[in-house]
């Protein structure tokens, strides 16, 4: 495929070359679905599930039964169960180490601190059907479990009423048995506002298609969300010492996700840019998922610059979901950048290993939101309360300053609520 290699020699060219169209929202369709679910509850859920998933759902079969969990368990091999369990252990170990803790300070009769507590109820969206992955289930469920959420529910779309067995097995392994066979914007609405069968939650997390992403954006404020996810992305920075085969296959690992996936390659050597580009398109045409990979490959961006500072600026402008640094000094280069969802260092840390067994979460900010958002973590399911406690002596010593501040702002009741204690 004839895609031009962009030769970058100044910042303006970077911004122009990487400008992206984000006008993919399905606002009107999603708004109508959400309003219908808010008004009509289960009845609306049943109608949309029949329309979109070809499944005649009702109150009796919307929630996954004990027998369906048991059937899922029987359908998975012992080898597959061991792989899932190993991944679970790695992910849980990392996320437990990352949990924010409450803290307090004390000085001269003043105790200050922050108390960290989990939300009571979380709703997790797990993609279903052809795009159902147990790794995504693990990455979405484990942070909520580690945070200590009291009640966790899962919604997942089905293929004619059958939930992916890997998703069910993973949910049960993590201790979650409230799984509902609904998907799309209607599932987000049900979790955000509640229906006759589904309780309203405090936080919604998990990836989904454009309808799910738009719905999460629409309900934000009435409920907390993790992020608004877009298509998968990878950016790779490589120098002349990198392996062309490694690089091309790593690009392909994202291209096969979906037709809208974005692949960026930034080469510090012109020869390696040309070689990677050639092999990447050959692989995209021959992979078993070529029907998807060829379409996403057509959107790939190949950049050449010998200037390392401009390469770093390119990364920051892309703000990629996944960033691989296959260069001789990845840690030095990492210090030049600030925008990336996850960073994979060196030649033997492909993005795919982070998808499964490394431990850090693979639900990451996309569509340049890594400029201000972070990976999914237990923090999404936790909230903080500031704690203040003044002894009488500490109050008497310091409060006049607060009273003076209140007077300066013209808030006289504030001042008097302080000064009344002086007597």
pLDDT at 395 over 70: yes
Query: Comparing 54 with 184, which gets the higher pLDDT?
Result: 184
Q: Do domains 5-20+230-371 and 41-225 have the same CATH topology?
A: yes
Element (H, E) at 248: helix 244-255
pLDDT at 300 over 70: yes
Q: What is the structure's pLDDT at 25?
A: 61
Q: What is the mean pLDDT of the chain?
A: 94
Q: Give the neighbor-by-neighbor strand order of the sheet with 5-7.
A: 5-7, 301-304, 262-267, 233-238, 322-326, 342-345
pLDDT at 19 over 70: no
Domain spans of the chain, in order of start: 5-20+230-371, 41-225, 393-422
pLDDT at 401 over 60: yes
Contact 136, 171 (CB under 8 A): no
Q: How confident is the model at residue 9 (pLDDT cuts 50, 70, 90)?
A: confident
Q: What is the structure's pLDDT at 131?
A: 67
What ranges in 41-77 are assigned the alpha helix state H? 42-53, 66-75
pLDDT at 343 over 90: yes
CA angle 180, 88, 150 (to 5 degrees): 50
CA distances 252 to 214, 363, 375, Å, are: 27, 19, 22
- Size of the chain, expressed as the number of residues it contains: 423
- DSSP structure class, residue 190: H
How many whole angstroms separate alpha carbon 192 and alpha carbon 177?
19
Q: Catalytic amino acids?
A: 321-322
Q: What is the structure's pLDDT at 387?
A: 97
Q: What is the structure's pLDDT at 229?
A: 84
- The class (CATH top level) of 41-225 is alpha beta
Q: For the chain, what percentages of helix, strand and coil (3-state, to nearest 5) are there?
A: 50, 15, 35
Q: What is the structure's pLDDT at 326?
A: 98
Rg of the chain (C-alpha set): 25
- The number of C-alpha atoms within 13 Å of 106 and in the hemisphere containing its C-beta is 2
- The class (CATH top level) of 5-20+230-371 is alpha beta
Backbone angles phi, psi at 386, to 5 degrees: -80, 140
Q: What is the structure's pLDDT at 3?
A: 78
Write down the pTM of the prediction: 0.92
pLDDT digits (tens, 9 = 90+) for 221-276: 999 999 988 889 999 999 999 999 999 999 999 999 888 899 999 999 999 999 99
Which residue carries 């970077």 as its tokens? 14
Q: What is the structure's pLDDT at 291?
A: 92
342: how many CB neighbours lie within 10 A of its CB? 21
Q: How confident is the model at residue 51 (pLDDT cuts 50, 70, 90)?
A: very high
Q: What is the structure's pLDDT at 50?
A: 93
Q: What is the structure's pLDDT at 23?
A: 56
Q: How confident is the model at residue 54 (pLDDT cuts 50, 70, 90)?
A: confident
Q: What is the structure's pLDDT at 24?
A: 58
- DSSP structure class, residue 209: -
Q: What is the structure's pLDDT at 6?
A: 82
Residue 127's DSSP bridge partners are none
């Amino acid at each position: 495929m004839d895609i031009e290699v962009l030769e970058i020699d100044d910042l303006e060219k970077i911004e122009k070359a990487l400008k992206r169209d984000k006008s993919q929202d399905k606002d009107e369709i999603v708004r109508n679905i959400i309003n219908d679910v808010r008004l009509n509850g289960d009845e609306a859920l049943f109608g949309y599930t029949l329309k979109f998933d070809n499944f005649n759902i009702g109150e009796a079969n919307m929630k996954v039964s004990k027998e369906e969990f048991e059937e899922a368990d029987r359908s998975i091999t012992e080898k597959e169960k061991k792989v899932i369990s190993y991944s679970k252990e790695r992910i849980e170990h990392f996320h437990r180490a990352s949990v924010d803790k409450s803290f307090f300070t004390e000085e001269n009769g003043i105790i200050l601190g922050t108390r960290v507590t989990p939300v009571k109820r979380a709703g997790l969206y797990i993609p279903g059907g052809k795009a159902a992955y147990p790794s995504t289930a693990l990455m979405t469920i484990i942070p909520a479990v580690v945070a200590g959420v009291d009640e966790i529910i899962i919604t997942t779309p089905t293929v004619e009423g059958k939930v992916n067995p890997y998703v069910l097995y993973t949910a049960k392994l993590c201790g979650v048995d409230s799984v509902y066979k609904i998907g799309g914007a209607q599932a987000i609405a049900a979790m955000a506002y509640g229906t006759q069968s589904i309780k309203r939650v405090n936080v919604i997390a998990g990836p989904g298609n454009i309808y799910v992403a738009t719905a999460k954006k629409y309900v934000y404020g009435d409920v907390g969300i993790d992020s608004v996810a877009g298509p998968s992305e990878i950016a790779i920075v490589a120098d002349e010492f990198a392996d062309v085969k490694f690089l091309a296959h790593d690009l392909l690992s994202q291209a096969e996700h979906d037709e809208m996936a974005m692949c960026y390659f930034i080469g510090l050597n012109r020869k390696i840019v040309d070689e990677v580009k050639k092999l990447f398109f050959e692989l995209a045409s021959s992979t078993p998922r070529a029907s998807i990979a060829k379409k996403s490959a057509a959107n790939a961006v190949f950049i050449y610059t010998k200037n390392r500072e401009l390469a770093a600026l390119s990364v920051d402008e892309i703000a990629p979901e996944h960033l691989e640094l296959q260069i001789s000094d990845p840690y030095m280069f990492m210090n030049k950048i600030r925008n990336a969802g996850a960073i994979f260092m060196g030649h033997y840390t492909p993005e795919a290993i982070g998808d499964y067994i490394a431990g850090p979460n693979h639900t990451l900010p996309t569509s340049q939101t890594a400029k201000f958002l972070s990976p999914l973590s237990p923090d999404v399911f936790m909230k903080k309360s500031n704690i203040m406690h003044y002894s009488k002596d500490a109050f008497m010593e310091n409060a006049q300053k607060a009273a003076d501040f209140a007077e300066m702002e013209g808030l006289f009741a504030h001042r008097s609520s302080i000064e009344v204690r002086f007597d």
